[in-house]
Chains A and B, each alone.
Chain A
């Protein structure tokens, strides 16, 4: 199983770009990297997923270096509503779902 490490917490201000890095040194060849966002009293919600290089959607970008041992979730110009816990997930169905491993989450606090 991949060992996942991400910062426990991060602070930012409205309008700034936030980068959250996840370390996954023993990622397997078939593993994907997925990021989820979770608000209090809700289940996690899918943000973005990638396998290598860079992926961008309407809410975030995901940067994955060539060795795939880490990944960085980038949130452009955060707002107060981006205050949440962000989870990195490594693994997936090509590796077998039993390999799915979540990081312990990064609590992002956005201040005015």
Chain B
């Protein structure tokens, strides 16, 4: 069974700090995703990556960057955290982009980030 592990369940940081959220998947998936989830807004895609060192912007990339140096690890970086980035962050992975069908995503259990 696919396991997507996010390094922290809860995280509290201060405004202006550089914040790293880490995600690791154990099934050799090519695609990895970062979402944020807010009440009333559902899940919104921040960034995704379909290969090592490759990244694409999602709907709301402003204020975020990502890093994918190894296939199994996808990091989300808040360059200078702000209070409006307080949210639940979800990482996901899916098998491959080399398929005509849409690959189901496997999600981690999320990191609840509070920026004070």
Contacts and interface: CB of A to CB of B under 8 A. Distances in A.
Is A bound to B?
yes
Interface of A: 1, 32, 34, 36, 41-46, 49, 51, 87, 91-94, 96-98, 100-105
Contacts of A100: 45, 48, 58
A87 B42 contact: yes
Contacts of A92: 101-103
B107 interface: yes
A46 to B, nearest CB: 4
Interface size bucket, B side? 20 to 34
A68 to B, nearest CB: 14
B57 A34 contact: no
20 contacts: A1-B59, A36-B105, A41-B109, A42-B109, A43-B90, A43-B92, A44-B105, A45-B107, A46-B105, A49-B102, A49-B104, A87-B42, A93-B99, A97-B48, A97-B97, A98-B45, A100-B45, A102-B35, A102-B43, A104-B42
Interface of B: 4, 31, 33, 35, 40-45, 48, 50, 56-59, 90, 92, 97, 99-110
